Amino acid sequence: MLPMGSLADAAAELAATFRGQLLQPADAGYEAARRVHNGLVDKRPALIARCLGVADVAAAIDLTRRLGLELAVRGGGHNVAGRAMVDGGVVADLSLMKGIRVDVQRGTAWAQGGVTWGELDRETQLHGLAVTGGVVSSTGIAGLTLGGGIGWLMGKHGLALDNLLSVELVTAEGQVLQASRQQEPELFWALRGGGGNFGVATGFEYALHPVGPAITGGLVVHPISCARTLLEFFRDSTRQLPDEHMLFATLAHAPDGSGMPVAALVTCHCGPLEEAEKAVLPLRQFAPPLLDAVGPMPYTQLNGMLDAGYPKGALNYWKSNFLTELSDAAIATMIDCFARCPTPMGQLLLEHFHGAVTRVDVSDTAFPHRSEGYNFLVLGQWTQPADTGACIAWTRETYARMRPFFAAGRYVNYLDDDEADDPVAAAYGPNYRRLQQIKGRYDPANFFRMNQNIRPQP
């Protein structure tokens, strides 16, 4: 255990040059700064370094190494496993680093590591441009992009990480590197899926695409009694979707707060409005819905539409896996499991992959999941601590019952960290060995280990 004096001395020395804020447990602002999206995460870092620039990040890394402490890195703070915080260690908190620059001529955006999707979309949409981003606006661009980046534009434009042009990274040695296809190409490969394993990403450069400003999207909600018909309709519809059209399905609870269980389709069509209108027509015609909220809307509105369903501070426990196919048996099991859901904020979600995201070779980026199909997510979410046991048990039971339908591979950004097997190795499949070698080159001592950790290999 480190004597607190040495941390206080080191922090005081750092404060002379640090531009951001250095927060220790007794400081005002510490309590708010240690809270992340998931209210279950209750860690108490020894120091939270709220960085304002690349030099602050390098200084936080240096201090952590000198004191022999553990470092966690916080972008948007949405990681459900709570890897953005660490007990007794140092947090490099980038959430004050909000710089964004859109280059309309080149069709690119550069953004700092503390930016959220809502913030980036706002700046890019000013010019009618966008890049694939998360479906909840408060999610950080950093963690989401480094792990993958599932979003409404991925059928047309691939994952968030497929649109990365370069990353600015501070390594464990405090070196500032630019990684792109031309510079540090192996590192750039690893950063596109390998998460926070290689350093602290301070800047991201994305390719942008013309999007909207109005696209077509929204929710179609049906009674839970229609769940089987809706999931079968979803399965049939996803066999022939154009790249522009994304479709997710969910068993959830009514968005009006009544707690009524429902079956719903969530959709986005980013093509011309007349084409989109025709494409979404079957979604509202296959059975009379309780609510039809699909229509033209600003892209920024679509990316904030689900925010209220995932409030900051709610308690979360998630498990997910890709499915080989959506068989009748998988549908029946989902319906049966959802009927036992103990929380009106819990849901089962199917995210369909097709189009551009599946036209990338498995070995082109560290992110390996390039087959057409479904990511299945058990999203345990609740507010009362007394419900924690029941909600975690339901999430685990549902996941276990769905296991017979699972394909190989899991999405690293949805991983929890309480599994006996090595879920990280399973998540990267054929790309894991190469990731281990790159980790061995850039972080051989595994300094960056508060993440979905890749074990370094020579």
Which residue's CB is nearer to ligand FAD, number 135 or number 208? 135
- Least Cβ distance, residue 204 to ligand FAD (angstroms): 8
Q: Which of residues 130-149 bind ligand FAD (CB under 6 A)?
A: 134-136, 139-140, 142-144, 146-149
Q: Answer whether 30's CB lies under 8 Å from 378's CB.
A: no
List the structure tokens of 54.
Answer: 């690349």
Out of 158, 196, 217, 261, the residue judged to bind ligand FAD by CB under 6 A: 196
- Least Cβ distance, residue 176 to ligand FAD (angstroms): 13
* Residue 94 near ligand FAD by CB under 6 A: yes
Taking phi first (over 0 means left), then psi (-120 to 50 degrees means alpha), and beta for anything else, what does residue 373 get?
left
Q: Which of residues 63-92 bind ligand FAD (CB under 6 A)?
A: 73-80, 83-84
> What is d(CA 370, CA 357) in angstroms, rounded to the nearest whole number?
6
Out of 195, 203, 368, 380, the residue judged to bind ligand FAD by CB under 6 A: 195
> What is d(CA 456, CA 437) in angstroms, rounded to the nearest whole number?
6
* Residue 200 near ligand FAD by CB under 6 A: yes
Which residue's CB is nearer to ligand FAD, number 142 or number 427? 142
- Least Cβ distance, residue 320 to ligand FAD (angstroms): 10
* Residue 406 near ligand FAD by CB under 6 A: no
Which residue's CB is nearer to ligand FAD, number 147 or number 289? 147
List the structure tokens of 139.
Answer: 């999610």
Q: Answer whether 244's CB lies under 8 Å from 275's CB.
A: yes
Which residue's CB is nearer to ligand FAD, number 132 or number 333? 132
Alpha helices in 16-53 (DSSP H): 30-33
- Least Cβ distance, residue 116 to ligand FAD (angstroms): 7
* Residue 380 near ligand FAD by CB under 6 A: no
**Binding residues with ligand FAD: total (CB under 6 A):** 36
| Cis preceding linkage at 213, omega within 30 | yes
Out of 7, 150, 172, 283, the residue judged to bind ligand FAD by CB under 6 A: 150
- Percent helix, strand, coil in the chain, to 5, is 35, 25, 40
Q: Which residue is nearest to ligand FAD (CB)?
A: 143
Which residue's CB is nearer to ligand FAD, number 195 or number 261? 195
> What is d(CA 349, CA 32) in angstroms, rounded to the nearest whole number?
30
* Residue 423 near ligand FAD by CB under 6 A: no
For residue 207, list its beta bridge partners: 108
Which residue's CB is nearer to ligand FAD, number 191 or number 263? 191
Q: Which of residues 328-357 bind ligand FAD (CB under 6 A)?
A: none
> What is d(CA 407, CA 429) in angstroms, rounded to the nearest whole number?
11
Question: What is the DSSP secondary structure assignment for residue 301, as one 8-state letter?
Answer: H
Please give the single-letter amino acid code of residue 350.
L
| Integer CA distances (angstroms), 72 to 52, 213, 306, 419, in order | 16, 37, 28, 20
Out of 34, 37, 50, 370, the residue judged to bind ligand FAD by CB under 6 A: 37
Please give the single-letter amino acid code of residue 63.
L
Which residue's CB is nearer to ligand FAD, number 158 or number 289? 158
Q: In sequence order, which residues have a C-beta less than 8 Å from that of residue 82 and are 6 or more positions away? A: 36, 38, 40, 41, 43
> What is d(CA 49, CA 27) in angstroms, rounded to the nearest whole number?
12
Out of 98, 310, 364, 441, the residue judged to bind ligand FAD by CB under 6 A: 310
List the structure tokens of 350.
Answer: 């199917």
- Least Cβ distance, residue 143 to ligand FAD (angstroms): 2
> What is d(CA 102, CA 114) in angstroms, rounded to the nearest whole number?
16
Out of 300, 320, 413, 431, the residue judged to bind ligand FAD by CB under 6 A: 413
Reduced to 3 states (helix: H, G, I; strand: E, B; else coil), residue 40 is: coil
Q: Residues for the chain: how many in total?
A: 458
- Least Cβ distance, residue 213 to ligand FAD (angstroms): 20
Which residue's CB is nearer to ligand FAD, number 86 or number 331? 86
The residues binding ligand FAD (CB under 6 A) are: 36-37, 73-80, 83-84, 94, 113, 134-136, 139-140, 142-144, 146-151, 195-196, 200-201, 310, 413, 450-451
